[in-house]
Chains A and B, each alone.
Chain A
Amino acid sequence: MTERREMPIKKGQGWKTLPHGGIIPEGGTAEHFMTGDWRTNRPIHHRDRCIDCMQCWAYCPDMAIIVEDGKVVGIDLEHCKGCGLCVAVCPPKVVALTLTTEAEAKKND
């Protein structure tokens, strides 16, 4: 996980200083929150089979595919919601991503 920026709105901030109309004056603030903690399915990445085609990275709606130096190195489980899109787009001859249940996966955590 990369180092987190400071959140533009502070916990406990009063109405006099908050931005108008509930606006959050910054993009990408999901990184401040564990938005993946209600996942029921979990994708498993198999590095040994991966060809780094980046289909999963392009399709992931939560930007949860972690890429370093042009290679897929894992999944950001704090933000992955287990939708399985990455598994669906992973080429059938490759199968570098498989889906399991969160309950099953937790046994090996």
Chain B
Amino acid sequence: MSEVKEMAAKQERQALTGNEAMALAMRQIEPDVVAAYPITPQTEIVQIFSTYVADGLVNTEYVPVESEHSAMSAVVGSAAAGARSMTATSANGLALMWEILYIASGTRLPIVMPVVNRALSGPINIHCDHSDTMGARDSGWIQIFSENAQEAYDNMFQAIRIAEHPDVLLPAMVTTDGFIISHGMEIVNTLDDKTIKDFLGTYKIPRNLLDVDNPITVGPLALQDFYFETKVAQADAMMKAKPVILEIAEEYEKLSGRKYSFFEEYRLDDADVAIVVLGSTAGTAKVVVDNLRKEGIKAGLLKLRVFRPFPYEELKEALKHVDVIGVLDRSDSFASLGGPVFSELRAAMYDMETRPLVTNYVYGLGGRDIDLHMIEQAYRELLEIKETGKVDQYVNYLGVRE
């Protein structure tokens, strides 16, 4: 039996929804404090976790707060006090946390939060797109996207280690696609509690509020003389998170047999045309890649896992041989040049000697289904662009009625 199979045999195979997998991960993490407010489609995560608390399965202080603004404020306080602290949210809940997101990262508190991606209102909508997380892309949080429930489960533990690493000390979001992953049931291989506990270790930050022998001031005024330095140190920590992400992924692979990096490359090595995408749509796109390969078309895929820190050097290296790239964005920037993934990836490629042609597909807003045909249509258009050598339109809306 190979090493990987042996590891898989040690794990428990469970049928779980994405939310159940994330709640289970939270039970195994057993944070000191969870403060949360319900919002669809995240609600189940903290609801299931609250039953763990009620049943005495975890030793966690659970604070049912009156809003997401309060949830994030409460975990900022508890994290600064030296407690491993978590919350969870979606869409408008994340928007209500806005102010405190920046305070959490600016104060360098390693809070980990599942975000179940959902479209921002209005019009009001409860289904998946990435407009919530993408809006928070400059909030100084690490952002890790998950394709399925298994990745969501695995990303949670890695996020704790990355966030709390002494070189990093930044908060982290772990996302899943609302309903598609959060409420869809899949097979998830889970590790035992002890393995997880040993992997995580204890929460330690350099200074905490409850250390009475070493009093500190948290959240002081920093005006023209110190604010700028604080922000540059934050940017530096985000860059330092890159090697840490790879290091932790390697360590986790030894426990689980599952490999993680900044992104996953699928049949990309010799690809002429490739799609770059986040989250659950990658699974659908892989099927399209396989179908096109059968036709002799060299189609490939890059699934971005870590959006913050943005791995631009590694992306350039992975995509440099591709002729035409289609970037799929599940959010729009409204008359900026394309969605966030597109504009950042395209900017990263600007100084390459031979640049791939890049076009953008904004898709799936408000949970609009994306199927094999739409993705195939995008690949066929990429092939046309390869033929003509010209991108006529940078921003295309995939699957919308005119």
Shortest distance between the CB of B321 and any CB in chain A (Å): 38
Contact in complex: A23, B236 (CB < 8 Å): no
Across-interface contacts of B222 in A (CB, < 8 A): 22
Task: Tell me whether A51 is interfacial, beta carbon within 8 Å.
Answer: no
What sequence of 0s and 1s flags, for each residue 22-41 of chain A, a beta carbon within 8 Å of any chain B beta carbon?
Answer: 11111111000000000000
What 1/0 mask marks residues of chain A from 1 to 33 whose CB sits below 8 Å from any chain B CB? 000000001010111101111111111110000
Query: B288-331 vs A: 1/0 string, CB under 8 Å?
Result: 00000000000000000000000000000000000000000000
Query: Are A27's CB and B216's CB within 8 A?
Result: yes
Stretch at the interface among B14-22, B106-114, B193-201, B279-287: B106-114
Contact A22 B107 (CB under 8 A): yes
Inter-subunit contact B225/A15 (CB<8 Å): no
What 11 additional pairs, Cβ within 8 angstroms, besides A15-B233, A22-B220, A22-B226?
A9-B226, A11-B225, A15-B236, A19-B207, A20-B169, A21-B106, A21-B169, A22-B219, A23-B216, A23-B220, A27-B216
Q: How many angstroms from the CA of A14 to the CA of B225 in the assembled complex?
A: 10
**Which residues of B pack against A, CB within 8 Å?**
106-109, 169, 206-207, 214-220, 222, 225-227, 229-230, 232-233, 236-237
Residue contact B225 to A18, C-beta cutoff 8 Å: no
- On whether the beta carbons of B229 and A23 are closer than 8 Å, the reply is no
Q: Which residue of B lies closest to A30 (CB)?
A: B217
Contact A25 B207, CB 8 Å, known A15-B233, A15-B236, A18-B230: yes
Chain B residues positioned under 8 Å from A11 (CB to CB): 225
Q: How many residues of A contact B (CB 8 A)?
A: 18
Contact of B229 among A15, A27, A29 (CB under 8 A): A15
The chain A residue sitting closest to B109, CB to CB, is A21
Q: Is the CB of A18 within 8 A of B207?
A: no
Rounded to whole angstroms, the CA-CA distance of A15 and B214 in the bound complex is: 22
Q: What residues on A are CB-neighbors of B227 within 8 Å? A: 22
Task: Return chain A residues, CB-CB under 8 Å to B232.
Answer: 15
CA distance A47 to B225 in the complex (A): 41
A24: chain B residues within 8 A (beta carbon): 216-217, 220
Least Cβ–Cβ distance between A6 and chain B, in angstroms: 16
Contact A29 B230 (CB under 8 A): no
